[in-house]
Structure 1
Amino acid sequence: MAEQPSNLPTAYDPKRAEDKWYDYWIEGGFFEAGKDPEKKPFSVVIPPPNVTGYLHIGHALDNILQDILVRWKRMEGYDALWLPGMDHAGIATQAKVEARLREEGVSRHDLGREKFLEQVWDWKEHYAQIIRNQWRKLGLSLDYSRERFTMDEGLSQAVREVFVRLYQKGLIYRGKYIINWDPATQTALSDIEVIHKEVQGHLYHMNYPLKDGSGSIRVATTRPETMLGDTGVAVHPEDDRYRDLVGKTVILPVVNREIPIVADEHVDAEFGSGAVKITPAHDPNDFEIGLRHDLPQILVMDETGTMNENAGPYQGLDRFQCREKIVDDLQEAGVLTEIEAHTHSVGHSERSGAVVEPYLSTQWFVRMKPLAEKAIQDIRSGEGVQFVPERFEKIYLHWIENIRDWCISRQLWWGHRIPAWYCTDCSETIVAREDPDHCPKCGGEHLHQDEDVLDTWFSSGLWPFSTMGWPEETEDLKRYYPTDVLVTGYDIIYFWVARMIFSGLEFTGTKPFRDVLIHGLVRDAEGRKMSKSLGNGVDPMEVIEKYGADAIRFMLSTGVTPGNDVRFRWERVEAARNFANKIWNASRFALMHLEGVKAEDLSLNGPLSTADRWILHRLNETVERVTAGLNRYDFGDAGQSLYHFIWDELCDWYIEFAKLPLYGDDEAAKDSTRSVLAYVLDQSLRLLHPFMPFITEEIRQHLPVEGDSITVASWPQSQSRFEAPEAVGEMEILIETIRAVRNTRAEMDLMPKQQVDLLIRAGEEAVPAFRNNEAAIRRLCGVDRLEVDPSLRRPERAMALVVTGAEIFLPLEGVIDIEQTIAKLEGERKKLDKEVERVEKKLANEGFVNKAPAHVVEEERQKGREYREKREKVVNRLKELRGE
């Protein structure tokens, strides 16, 4: 145990404690796994944050929940590994670095690939250190000796191994297909990197004239600029309206290209005119129709979204400028017959926000159906990953059952470069684990590597096992894989969770984790998503600076329920800080009475009071509730159970009862109370440690207990010897009595030092509670004469209080000026009569009830209920004072 003075300072200083104890934990190696092979392993891999900047409040929630689980399991005696690491985040990181270069008037092309990547690595190192510092500030118990990065040497080897294996199995292929193209970042995107938004646009109706002059066929589009790439018009083969037109030719307006009318079952004859324009290079459905009918594929814009040479007179225009110009030209030519308002879903880049362009491009793809089938079989077998809450399993299953091939190539420089080489001499494609120096087909040495890199999710999908050393059969892989639980938000189930499950099953033969705990987003107090535009974001580091790490940890973790969003409220952070102060002050009281006491001096074998046995029983119950809550991943329930035990029972009641023996003359009672107080405080700190690690370490280092750190102290266990239901029953009666008497004293404006008489008419079962604890009742209720008698009669002019199993009478003669008090209460009753009358009159007004907002009406009803309750109390007091 660290050398510490026995007394705590007057106030808790989070800044001093947090830096001191984190250094102590790291230097002591308390977070490092693998030290005891006899212990059962428990492992978690951190969802790797992107090296694009700072951790936000969502990261804080995610990391805090993981840390609670890891600290808890470490205390339960597991060999707990929490593996840290970061993601290179291809598009996002490259975009950040390019933006910084633009501010300097430089582009990546000015620098060249090698120099640009040097800049990105510098960026990565800078922000990786910032993230590590933020992990430190949050108090995360990470094993830094095993930290990984998605582009470190080992993970890069794993990525190449996976690519080669999938390619050799025919599950990775290269082809020319319609993909999602981001003109802003000029790279392909996977389907799940596209966010679909409802946009108010237009539907443009056009007549394409038949070549033979016999008429025209009507088509409609939301993107008239793409008509420049039309190579056909399609109708349904059973649509009688167009049966005679199939095989004929129309003239494409503006460019005057001849295009055929084809019949295809994909066409919806009920939508619009039943005829659709076919643009194979700019629409995924049109692409498939084009393949079936051997239609040409004409790209009419380049990678920046600018119209190209195939756009004829519109070459050089931005795609949206082209739309405006071509609409004007079509109207002038009499081809455009109608423009109607139309709300439709438009894809936007998840990274840049640009409108995504369906674009014909040569890319690399993963054939997903075979991988999905394994994942589906695994989860339906009942042996697959368990989702918490269970409802997310259906969402996951629905997606993988309808999965499409995954475009994995990205037109970037930052990332894992695709391990494919092309032979200039014979056009052979070579995919290999090692860089080739010649073509295996023709022996030629003129090879060039594919310029593209892999989607960042390709590497992060391997995270649970690549970080453990796969494809090598390392000791860590054998011991800690599969991992026990993944904690993540519902927003990346498709992006990441699904890919890890596919990859784990395919390459290790097992699921990558036992459980997936899904949590929601952190929203503001009004339930809105945090965003720069709303200005409602919260920096977790600012919260820590103001209130300390333990406050934000407790606030976020106890406000969460599995699968649901969390609302961030500053008042709840303040409440958590106040909770820390409450624990601190209670601990200062305890340590004041443990001055000079050593661990071996403490014993729970001495005579125990009712309060002692009660608090030990309640501790048992709290241990069980907290442990059960953590086992269910219900952090909110576990934390709230602990909060109420510490605040309401240990601090507010047990310490009050403990003051009697501690300030008394009975040395044996003092020793017993010290021992119980030390034990319960120590056990409470252990239960609280995963939630609030810093303050619990600070306090426990002052307690007379064994051990170097609370991080490796054993997790509390329920003790059958502490079961004392009879003590619980007695204490419930005592607490109820003390509350009732104190409330009555407050109503009567009695000074704390003013003594009163208390006469208790108790039932047989309640008598022991009062007679065994007379000293406590006298002290805590300010009582002079105390009489407990089952046959007591109620005195005249006495306050009557009813508690469980007893009636309590507080004689008023000589205690208060009865007539003056009656006069005061009569005045109060008249005021309440008026308020009740006012509210009832207001609620009887139909105009108010029908027109006022519902919450305003409900507020008035609530006021009415409160006024009536107060009036009833006043009336009862008046009866008692008058002896009625």
Structure 2
Amino acid sequence: MFRFLLPKHCDHHALESRWGNVWRQIDSSQPATREDIKPGDLSTCIHKDILLRHRIMREISLQETGGAPPLTKEMYSENGRKLLDFSLLLPFGACDDADSDSQDMLRIYGTDALRFAIAMQPGWPPGPSRLQGALTLANKFWNCLRFACMHLQGDEPLSPDLRSSSDMERWFLQRLNTTTAQLNEHFERNQLSSACARLQYLVRHDLSGWFLESIRLHIGNPASRQCVRYVMLHIAHLLHPLMPNITQETFFRLSTSPQKLFLQHPFPEFRSELIFPQATRRVEQLRKLVHSIRSLMGLHFIPAPSRITVILTSNEPEIQRLILAHAEDICHLAGISNMRLDDPPPGHAIRTVSRSWSISILLDDSRIHDSIRVSLLKEKDDLSRRILRMQHKLGNRGFMDSIRTDTARRWKTRLRRDLRRRERVIRTLGMLTAPQSETMRKR
């Protein structure tokens, strides 16, 4: 299953052609027939299909736990017609009566992105920003799937090893567990916009921004690979009502079940054993610390990653133990080369102080990339040219009389912001070129 890697870029149309005919096998005794859908009804049909997919998978889940009666054929019927008998379960390009706008959107963005964009906000047609955001989410999930296929060996169990899992893995398992409970509530209340917002934050920020980035350092651990497999399949379950094609491909790659349809598997439910308050508290402190380092570097235009030394100071024993235990993770997530727990150093350093810790970045030329100085000089020149153009416009009285008052106010605000930004750049350049202190020379 893992003998070949996925392509770098996701071909959504290839996934549609691969899995489009699979939806016809849901009930072989009553093969699905195309239903005429007018362009104005496409949004309503997509909403129905999303809610029906969740309803079917949720009924299977409740049946397995004894909370629902056995499935019957009446569940799939409404007035003698199959509920899943929508042509939107097939590739949209196969709809002969689709209008030209729908065909253009399907050709550019694909079925999964169009479904997610319509679920994000009602109304037809969806705007380009919504479609592009849905396509970006699908590509982000595809990259996460590529990462899993590159590192998994295929023999990992489908459930996480809670005894050997790290704090970051337990934190994400709890985040995934609470998101599952919220999604079930949103789907039951037909709140598709809220469900899409939850899934977007989960995939783009928690999964790819924190969990997979931190687990790169420990992917050789069998428990970490086991957790990655469980997480990817779990998120694919959550995404399936909205993006059926890419999640079906994920299920085909990572699952060993003989049932090849996602609709034949139960929808995830909340699990009380996946609550880890202590690990979650430690990881939240770790995320705040990494965010503080990133913000301090961004404030002074220091790119990440950079070969710089960060000194952390804290009087709280719990924070000190956290820093010592996760020093490698902090360096990797913040994009720095070295970090140590010590007193604030004298001399030229960028500092920020909070209630729990203080952060110092040593601007030692032997430990910092030359690209930092080059990027700062380029930023300074760009800001100077922009400020001169804005000052010339604001100084031309005839031109200012011809524009609206709110436009002039917005330009003045932008000028003040650029002036403050240039001052920070000049201050950082001064720290880079200033003579080193006696302590830094000894080092």
Aligned to 2:25: 27
Residue 163 of structure 2 aligns to a residue whose secondary structure is coil
With 689-698 and 575-584 compared, the bigger mean Cα shift is at 575-584
Decide whether aligned partners of structure 1 residues 763 and 637 sit closer, same or farther in structure 2, where only a CA change above 3 A counts: farther
Aligned to 2:243: 692
Decide whether aligned partners of structure 1 residues 857 and 593 sit closer, same or farther in structure 2, where only a CA change above 3 A counts: same
Deviation at 1:66, TM superposition (A): 0.7
Aligned to 1:65: 47
Q: Which amino acid aligns with 1:81?
A: Y
Deviation at 1:653, TM superposition (A): 1.5
Alignment of 1:491-570 (within 5 A): 539-560=101-122, 565=123, 568-570=126-128
Aligned to 1:391: none
Equivalent position to 2:162, from 558, 582, 605: 605
Counterpart CA distance in 2 for 1:817 and 1:682 is 40
Aligned to 1:302: none
List per-residue Cα deviations over 1:5-57 (Å, max 9, x = no partner): 77434443333322332322322429979xxxxxxxxxxxxxx98x6xx631x
Equivalent position to 1:651, from 201, 205, 208: 208
Q: Which amino acid aligns with 1:592?
A: M
Alignment of 1:81-480 (within 5 A): 81=76, 83=78, 136-138=90-92
Contact 1:8 1:702 (8 Å CA) reproduced? no
Percent identity reads 23
Higher relative strand content: 1
> Is 1:795 the counterpart of 2:342 in the alignment?
no
Contact 2:379 2:425 (8 Å CA) reproduced? no
Q: Which amino acid aligns with 1:678?
A: R
Counterpart CA distance in 2 for 1:704 and 1:769 is 36
Decide whether aligned partners of structure 1 residues 19 and 825 sit closer, same or farther in structure 2, where only a CA change above 3 A counts: closer
Decide whether aligned partners of structure 1 residues 860 and 793 sit closer, same or farther in structure 2, where only a CA change above 3 A counts: same
Aligned to 2:66: none
Counterpart CA distance in 2 for 1:776 and 1:863 is 38
Aligned to 2:267: 715
Counterpart CA distance in 2 for 1:134 and 1:855 is 47
Contact 1:8 1:699 (8 Å CA) reproduced? no
Equivalent position to 1:629, from 179, 186, 204: 186
Counterpart CA distance in 2 for 1:4 and 1:65 is 35
Q: Which amino acid aligns with 2:253?
A: H
- The two structures have a TM-score, normalised by structure 1, of 0.41
Aligned to 1:769: 322
Decide whether aligned partners of structure 1 residues 27 and 590 sit closer, same or farther in structure 2, where only a CA change above 3 A counts: same
Counterpart CA distance in 1 for 2:282 and 2:247 is 31
Counterpart CA distance in 1 for 2:106 and 2:157 is 34
Decide whether aligned partners of structure 1 residues 740 and 869 sit closer, same or farther in structure 2, where only a CA change above 3 A counts: farther
Counterpart CA distance in 1 for 2:16 and 2:382 is 57
Alignment of 1:705-784 (within 5 A): 705-706=256-257, 708=259, 709-741=261-293, 752=305, 755-764=307-316, 765-781=318-334, 783-784=336-337
Decide whether aligned partners of structure 1 residues 807 and 567 sit closer, same or farther in structure 2, where only a CA change above 3 A counts: farther
Deviation at 1:688, TM superposition (A): 0.6
Decide whether aligned partners of structure 1 residues 693 and 822 sit closer, same or farther in structure 2, where only a CA change above 3 A counts: closer
Q: Which amino acid aligns with 2:111?
A: A
- The two structures have a TM-score, normalised by structure 2, of 0.77
Deviation at 1:660, TM superposition (A): 0.7
Decide whether aligned partners of structure 1 residues 598 and 760 sit closer, same or farther in structure 2, where only a CA change above 3 A counts: closer
Runs of 5+ consecutive residues of structure 2 not aligned to the other structure: 61-70, 438-443
Residue 12 of structure 1 aligns to a residue whose secondary structure is coil
Decide whether aligned partners of structure 1 residues 575 and 136 sit closer, same or farther in structure 2, where only a CA change above 3 A counts: same
Deviation at 1:779, TM superposition (A): 3.3
Q: Which amino acid aligns with 1:579?
A: L
Residue 595 of structure 1 aligns to a residue whose secondary structure is coil
Decide whether aligned partners of structure 1 residues 827 and 771 sit closer, same or farther in structure 2, where only a CA change above 3 A counts: closer
Higher relative helix content: 2
Deviation at 1:588, TM superposition (A): 1.4
Greater relative contact order (Cα 8 A, min sep 6): structure 1 or 2? 2
Contact 1:559 1:567 (8 Å CA) reproduced? no
List per-residue Cα deviations over 1:302-340 (Å, max 9, x = no partner): xxxxxxxxxxxxxxxxxxxxxxxxxxxxxxxxxxxxxxx
List per-residue Cα deviations over 1:156-181 (Å, max 9, x = no partner): xxxxxxxxxxxxxxxxxxxxxxxxxx
Residue 586 of structure 1 aligns to a residue whose secondary structure is helix
Counterpart CA distance in 1 for 2:28 and 2:177 is 27
Contact 2:233 2:255 (8 Å CA) reproduced? no
Deviation at 1:731, TM superposition (A): 3.0
Residue 77 of structure 1 aligns to a residue whose secondary structure is helix
Decide whether aligned partners of structure 1 residues 566 and 548 sit closer, same or farther in structure 2, where only a CA change above 3 A counts: closer
Decide whether aligned partners of structure 1 residues 132 and 815 sit closer, same or farther in structure 2, where only a CA change above 3 A counts: closer
Aligned to 1:473: none
Counterpart CA distance in 1 for 2:153 and 2:29 is 32
> Is 1:17 the counterpart of 2:15 in the alignment?
yes
Counterpart CA distance in 1 for 2:379 and 2:246 is 50
Alignment of 1:727-876 (within 5 A): 727-741=279-293, 752=305, 755-764=307-316, 765-781=318-334, 783-789=336-342, 792-802=343-353, 805-813=356-364, 814-816=366-368, 828=380, 831=383, 835=387, 838=390, 842=394, 848=400, 852-853=403-404, 856-857=407-408, 859-864=410-415, 866-871=417-422, 873-874=424-425
List per-residue Cα deviations over 1:554-576 (Å, max 9, x = no partner): 1111123xxxx456223432332
- Please identify the structure whose Cα radius of gyration is greater: 1
Counterpart CA distance in 2 for 1:773 and 1:827 is 34
Deviation at 1:876, TM superposition (A): 5.5
Deviation at 1:132, TM superposition (A): 6.5
Residue 605 of structure 1 aligns to a residue whose secondary structure is coil
Deviation at 1:700, TM superposition (A): 1.1
Deviation at 1:623, TM superposition (A): 1.4
> Is 1:593 the counterpart of 2:151 in the alignment?
yes
List per-residue Cα deviations over 1:177-220 (Å, max 9, x = no partner): xxxxxxxxxxxxxxxxxxxxxxxxxxxxxxxxxxxxxxxxxxxx
Decide whether aligned partners of structure 1 residues 724 and 870 sit closer, same or farther in structure 2, where only a CA change above 3 A counts: farther
Counterpart CA distance in 2 for 1:696 and 1:82 is 26
Aligned to 2:222: 671
List per-residue Cα deviations over 1:784-831 (Å, max 9, x = no partner): 543224xx123311122456732211111233599x959966993995
Counterpart CA distance in 1 for 2:27 and 2:252 is 17
Equivalent position to 1:702, from 253, 259, 269: 253
Deviation at 1:615, TM superposition (A): 0.9
Counterpart CA distance in 2 for 1:699 and 1:18 is 13
Residue 633 of structure 1 aligns to a residue whose secondary structure is coil
Counterpart CA distance in 1 for 2:376 and 2:216 is 37
Decide whether aligned partners of structure 1 residues 823 and 574 sit closer, same or farther in structure 2, where only a CA change above 3 A counts: closer
Counterpart CA distance in 2 for 1:573 and 1:856 is 30
